[in-house]
Amino acid sequence: MLRLLLFFGTNIAVLLVISIVFRVLGLEEMLTQSGSGINLGALLIFSAAFGMIGSFISLAMSKWIALRSTGARVIKEPANDTERWLLQTVKRQAQAAGIGMPDVAIYQAPEMNAFATGMKRNSALVAVSTGLLQGMRSNEVEAVLAHEVSHVANGDMVTMALLQGVLNTFVIFFSRVVGMLVDRLIFRNERGYGIGFWISSIVAQVVFGILASIIAMWFSRYREFRADAGAARLNGRESMISALSTLGRTYGQSSLPESVEAFGISGRVGAGMKKLFMSHPPIEERIQALRQG
């Protein structure tokens, strides 16, 4: 219930902030004088509905999408010692983190990776790849599991959905305002929506979308540092450093679908400007942050 209130509260706050900014900057008066006839209130509601609700639906379906897209198998009854150990480890860490027991799953993938997702802290999903189980020592696997449990305990999935919803709202809203201004002030179209609106709003949506992606990926990298720190508290700093060092051998290799990839412990690598669009920080920076912490 608290997270639903946070979701709707954020939605309302976005509408208020945009409305206040427009009044302070005089953009509302400018639109009126241009004869656009645009209803800012209606546009705000439209933008928030598409931006927020779409993000919320994606979050609500995240566990189902993750299981279907990766072919992960949830462990209902452990079939061997490894599965039994996984369940016991996640249960112990979840209790220490103060959250409900997540579903634990294994999926087939050659690279070392793991992810967590879910709409609620007390009914999340933690999944590990077969490559991770085969390539890491038990203390390193424990550290990776603690990293994913920390994501759940931090509410990172909900926070990411809220941020994405806010960004979507801004992109939809401002791209259409730009389109209307260009159509009226430059193309001198006095009624309806002309070619100037459609071209400029599409271009503006692409530009604003790129800027929004940079912001979303910055937060994604920040939450990885925070989950690493949480794993260090739950399972020991040296174990997490060791796990990251081992992970470095296949870091950047991911067979996870795009809808799940940002939630994995291993992300794609990049340099220069590409780093702005990476969901995960470089391994070296993550290890350095742990040593300094």
Question: Which residues form the catalytic set?
Answer: 148
Report the run of H or E that residue 115 belongs to, with start and end.
strand 114-117
- The whole-angstrom separation of Cα 161 and Cα 167 is 10
Closest CA to 139 of 283, 37, 21, 240: 240
Residue 262 corresponds to which tokens in the numbers above? 């940002």
Sheet holding 73-74, edge to edge: 73-74, 103-107, 125-129, 114-117
Residue 220: partners with Cβ closer than 8 Å, 6 or more residues away: 160, 262, 279, 280
- The whole-angstrom separation of Cα 239 and Cα 190 is 66
What 3-state DSSP class applies to 58? helix
What burial class does residue 243 get, using C-beta atoms within 10 Å of its C-beta: 0-12 exposed, 13-18 middle, 19+ buried? buried
- The whole-angstrom separation of Cα 127 and Cα 104 is 6
What 3-state DSSP class applies to 106? strand
- Calculate the CA dihedral of residues 117, 91, 78, 257 and round it to 10 degrees: 10
Residue 152 amino acid letter: V
